[in-house]
Amino acid sequence: MPGTPPTRFVYLGPEGTFAEQALRTVPAAEHGSRTPARSVGEALDCVRAGEADAALVPLENSIGGAVGVTLDELAEGDPLVITREVILPVEFVLGARPGITLESVRDVAAHPQASTQCRNWLREHLPDATVVDVLSNGAAAAGAAAGEYDAAICAPIGAARHRLAVLADKIADHPDAVTRFALVSRPGPPPPPTGDDVTSLAVYIAHDRVGALLSVLMELAVRGVNLSRIESRPTGEALGRYVFFLDGTGHVADVRMGEALQGLRRVCADVRFLGSYPRHRWVDGAGERPVPAPAGLSDADYADAAAWLARLRRGELT
């Protein structure tokens, strides 16, 4: 039923990963059911099939960039929409069974992305240890807890879940690294505008037309829609055919965003609406501030211009 808060959540598993940690920041998820999925595709298909109300999947990382599999899954198959974004600091810890000291660590389990983001710390503090690749941060923590490895690079939630002692915290080489997650649901009315929103789109350009991408960007620029992200992904149709993923400031209910979407519909081969949702709110007030509408492009300006045009059409010139 439209408007009913979700109660059944699925997330990219396994348990004890940053995805679970991010999902638990969503109030409804903390009180609902949370089920790990084996892949992004499986998580989103659970939502499409009605087996879950919403799925939390990774969109991009400030170090590694966009998560291509998520973008591909959102661009294909039955439509889904983003209803919320969650931005989580990536704070890796080194966990081990109680009694193991840093000096005694001979091997460390880590997901390849985790070990890459902690390369300098490992080189400085564990230069002789062997790093063993595993499938996830959760699997690393589980392996260390089971005695398969001396230690694990994992998320704080993973160390706590498997009762590992934290030998070192905040070991990532980039202390300000974050991962952006999307909470995805079946299509329905978007959350109401807040004045600080993001609209996500998958745009297919006409490849046989000169300046097709420029025309897309102009439809947004002339209406003061600021692009916070643009990514391209191959469509799989042929070499050189791409779909462009755009994040723009504003909400589908805003007049300027609505006019921009109409413009894109006219000039693009296809446009898939991926949702309008509130920008992530930082608890400590950090992060980007809302981008105000340029002069002449607020909803009030659009309403005034529309009223003026209506008077002209009625023959009222004063």
DSSP states of 141-183 as a string? HHHHHTTSSSEEEE-HHHHHHTT-EEEEE---SSTT-EEEEEE
- Which pLDDT does position 197 carry in this prediction? 93
- Which pLDDT does position 53 carry in this prediction? 95
CA 166 vs. chain centroid, Å, equals: 28
* Alpha-carbon distances, residue 151 vs 37, 146, 172, 178 (angstroms): 25, 10, 16, 23
- Which pLDDT does position 257 carry in this prediction? 93
Comparing C-alpha atoms, which of 99, 96, 85 is closest to residue 56? 85
Token pair belonging to 155: 């998320």
CA distance 109 to 137: 9
- The class that CATH gives domain 93-168 is alpha beta
227-234 and 151-154 beta bridge pairing: unpaired
Q: What is the pLDDT of residues 218-249, one digit of tens each?
A: 999 888 888 989 998 887 776 767 889 999 99
Check if the beta carbon of residue 68 is closer than 8 Å to that of residue 233: yes
Interhelix angle for 255-267 vs 212-221, to 10°? Answer: 170
Instruction: For the chain, report the end-to-end CA distance as a whole number of angstroms.
Output: 49
Question: What's the burial of 171, exposed, middle or buried (CB within 10 Å: 0-12/13-18/19+)?
Answer: buried
Token pair belonging to 147: 């005695």
Domain ranges of the chain: 1-89+177-189, 93-168, 190-317
Check if the beta carbon of residue 205 is closer than 8 Å to that of residue 269: yes
pTM of the model: 0.81
Same fold, 1-89+177-189 and 93-168: yes
Check if the beta carbon of residue 158 is closer than 8 Å to that of residue 144: no
CA distance 45 to 37: 10
Number of residues written out for the chain: 318
- Which pLDDT does position 293 carry in this prediction? 65
Domain 1-89+177-189 fold is: D-Maltodextrin-Binding Protein; domain 2 (3.40.190)
- Which pLDDT does position 286 carry in this prediction? 53
- Which pLDDT does position 171 carry in this prediction? 93
CA distance 185 to 67: 18
- Which pLDDT does position 1 carry in this prediction? 40
- Which pLDDT does position 292 carry in this prediction? 65
- Which pLDDT does position 288 carry in this prediction? 57
- Residue 179's DSSP bridge partners are 61, 88
The domain over range 190-317 is classified in CATH as 3.30.1280.10: no
pLDDT tens by residue, the chain, 318 residues: 446 778 899 998 888 888 998 999 999 998 889 999 988 999 999 999 999 999 999 998 888 788 888 999 999 889 999 999 999 888 899 999 999 999 999 999 998 888 988 999 999 999 999 999 998 888 899 999 999 999 999 999 999 989 999 999 999 988 888 889 999 999 999 999 998 899 999 999 877 677 788 888 999 988 888 898 999 888 777 676 788 999 999 999 998 899 999 999 998 889 999 999 999 876 555 555 656 667 777 778 888 888 888 888 888 886
